[in-house]
Amino acid sequence: MDFELSEEQKAFQSLAYKFALKEFPPFAQECDRQEKYPREIWQKACEAGLVGIAIPEEYGGPGAGWMETALITEQLSRIDLGLGLAAVAATFGAENIINYGSEEQKKTYLPLLPAGKAIFAGAYTEPNAGSDVAGTTTRAAKDGSDYVINGSKTFITNGTICDYMVALCVTNPESPKKTQRHSLIIVDANSPGITRMKIHGKMGIRASDTAEITFEDVRVPQKNLVGKEGNGFHQLMHFFDQTRIMVASQGLGLAQGALDLALKYVQERKTFGVPLAANQAIQFQLAEMATRIELARNIIYKAAWKADNGQLDPSLNAMAKFYAGETAVWVTDKALQMHGGYGYIDEYDIQRFYRDAKILEIYEGAKEIEKITIAKRLF
């Protein structure tokens, strides 16, 4: 087994970390406090080649794999999860076009992403259909050469700032199988009949845009259907099987960043005349934090390697996402505790890491759903 990264992978890793170190600090507190999407960060990330790295070369991207995606996501999230999402989530939903789109769709939409000319969103979750994806009720009815879409979505990343979205809609309501009723459809986010409302007051990742979206008689050409009609549920499950690697990498990076902050603080902070780092109880906690992070790193890198080598493993990806999310929450809790009262005020970055961490146990499949995915494959 070879655990060594290639020179190209090391270059992506270094590029992402240096970019985040330079660009994120001036915006992190402001975007968190004001719930402000960092459009300038997104534009610079595109110019640096950090957006759409999985897009094939023939469509304007570098054609990198899931390992490179994991490395970049980890390093950006290490400095700030919310700002990192401006880069890694700018393509969210467009992965379905890479997987299942027509040649015309790929040529039309994919080049826009690395060039910084468009942002995508995945319009999947509904008020009454989160983990129960097959319970989605937004309807796309045929009318002439169009679909007419009616319904609503919620918790949509990039919802108010996206240019296009890939929406999960019911197109075959008469199908006896619940999992064969849906399709994925590309929607111009500025189409008449679309209302987008920003969700305010999130606990964390406040720099990332999240919205409620309503469709009222929204007309979309039928040529915007992604893949085969009625296959939307299965296409989306494959999408989640892949992108859990990215979300797991967010947890890994955030946990590593929290450990970085803790290590710096305990060496600077003195109690009873000596640095906190001299306390063996602190050392033991730091050792356990580093161990859990390394365990998460190994399972994520294995999952990414398998995905890149034609061995996509839904169970392993679910393990990676579940474990990395829990690790992020646990590590940030320990890191904040080491900061004492100072960790409780927003002058110190660790409180933002603490708030950001919880979403990693919820979105892209709550950790309970990950456990179901794992358990089903044990028998």
Count CB atoms within 10 A of the CB of residue 174: 5
pLDDT number for residue 1: 76
214, exposed or middle or buried, with CB in 10 Å at 0-12, 13-18, 19+?
A: middle
**CB–CB of 301/13 below 8 Å?**
no
pLDDT interval class at 79 (50, 70, 90): very high
Rounded to two decimals, the pTM is: 0.95
Mean per-residue pLDDT of the chain: 96
Mean pLDDT (whole number) for 168-187: 96
For 229, 278, 361, 367, the CA distances from 375, given in Å and listed in that order, are: 30, 43, 17, 12
Q: Which residue has the tokens 């950001």?
A: 356
Q: Domains in the chain, start-ordered, CATH in brackets?
A: 7-112 (1.10.540.10), 120-231 (2.40.110.10), 233-378 (1.20.140.10)
3-state secondary structure of 319: helix
Mean pLDDT (whole number) for 291-297: 98
Q: Which of 23, 95, 212, 364 is catalytic?
A: 364
Residue 293: which residues within 8 A CB-CB, separation 6 or more? 252, 255, 256, 259, 327, 331
**Confidence check: pLDDT of 321 > 80:** yes
pLDDT number for residue 267: 97
For 165, 193, 294, the CA distances from 190, given in Å and listed in that order, are: 10, 9, 44
C-alpha dihedral (207, 247, 322, 98), degrees to nearest 10: 140
pLDDT number for residue 159: 97
3-state secondary structure of 43: helix
C-alpha dihedral (355, 19, 256, 318), degrees to nearest 10: 80
**CB–CB of 221/149 below 8 Å?**
no
3-state secondary structure of 141: strand
**Confidence check: pLDDT of 129 > 90:** no
pLDDT interval class at 132 (50, 70, 90): confident
Runs of H (alpha helix) within the chain: 7-23, 25-34, 39-47, 66-79, 81-88, 95-100, 103-109, 232-268, 280-308, 314-339, 350-357, 367-376
How far, in Å, CA of 341 to CA of 227, rounded?
53
Q: Is 364 a catalytic residue?
A: yes
Percent of the chain with pLDDT over 70: 100
Encoded tokens for 132: 């129960």
